[in-house]
Structure 1
Amino acid sequence: MIFAPEEISAIILSISIALKSTIMAIMPAIIFGYLLARKKFFGKIILDAMLNYSLVLPPVVIGLILLLIFGNHGPIGKYLSKWGMPLVFTANGAAFASAFMVFPLMLRIIKQAFEAINKDWEFIAASLGAKPLDVFFSITLPNAYRGLIAALLVGFAASLGEFGAVITFAANIEGKTQTLALAIYSAMQSPNGESSAIRLSLVAIAISVAALVASELLQKLGHEVQDA
């Protein structure tokens, strides 16, 4: 299978953007996942529902919201542009939009990982004088590592296929913001572009399936260890 230079560019760019987006989303997912799994506070149900926005809102709507806020004339975007860090129509912007889309998926996995941890372990550590941060970093986080890795893999796979939010916020610029999904779309709009679309689709499927299989195996291993 021979790939054209622009196809190779789209593949490399997609992997780069997917990696960046998962890195952007992992820390907020850990913070909110822990709060939702371990803390009780007023409005928790509402916050949980709001953080799952990408499961109910069309990606284009999220892309439009990001464009209005982080665009070059938006309330935040105008300052980013002024400081030489524009997001709109850039690869970083594509990763940023993708991170917003994959965050809820990663959040759900991490939340479940925290909920599966035996609270007695944390209680024992706290009773022995460990501070909350010490308990989190020495007990909670290490025991949730399989969930964290699974969230990263699922987020990476989902980011590879993100289309609506990315094209709305970062556009479809070849060699700059054109990911696999956008390259496939462009190929399908071009005469005799079916072969290119098929090649890119096979690459996207192979990478995504590999990430999802790894995630499933990791979670299965975690359940077997807990049952042992």
Structure 2
Amino acid sequence: MKTAFITGANKGIGFETAKQLLENGYFVFIGSRNIDNGESAVQQLKKAGFENIHAIRLDVSDITSIEEARKEIGKQTDILDVLINNAGINGGMPQAALEAPVESFQKVMDTNLYGVIRMTQAFMDLLKKSEQPRIVNVSSSGCSLTLHSDPEWIYYSHKAAVYTASKAAMNMYTINLAYELRDTAFKVNAVCPGFVATDFNNHRGTGTVEEGGQRIAKYAMITQDGPTGKFISEEYNSETGETPW
């Protein structure tokens, strides 16, 4: 049975992604900053008939928390097949480039960028033991430099200086990570779930969590002929999903 660890998975897209992977026979570790919320998510999924799931207390901005999570998962498995870096914060609104304090950038980067780096490095030893390791960094088409420079783009005026900077930086980390792992069985991609209605955006999104979870799970389960080092948004590009950086 393949194993997956999803950060920030007690609700929203992370929770739905967990459900999608469970339906495909995976054992799923649900990462949650609040363990009670994580356990509640597990109970919801168990009521739906799933058993191969376990909650893990995890704060991706705290290296001690990550180290404890690594120890806990290491007690249950020697191999991790999938790491989905889903946990993220938006930094609140408004986010004007001239007015957002540096402290806001630092806080959001600590989760959205440094959290991804911490998690990837901490769990690399378990991932390397998988025959087909997968890393999915949950991104957003809203952090595309190309699209945000195009006045004709539908979301051109939806600027958020703090959040988009953090995800654009995470995308660059994804490119470098995929390059370093290019001669291995790893598949590493930045994947946008779409503009999904969740607590993250005060339910202003136009898509469903089911759609978002399905898109993330798809790239967690890609075969060896699948892409790596790509920025994927099937909402933006319904044919190949490939999106301009």
Q: For CA contacts below 8 A with separation 6 or more, give which structure has more relative contact order.
A: 1
TM-score > 0.5, shorter chain as reference? no
- More strand per residue: 2
- More helix per residue: 1
> Which category of TM-score, normalised to the shorter sequence, fits these structures?
under 0.3
Whose radius of gyration is greater, 1 or 2? 1
Please report the TM-score for the alignment, with normalisation by the length of structure 2. Answer: 0.26
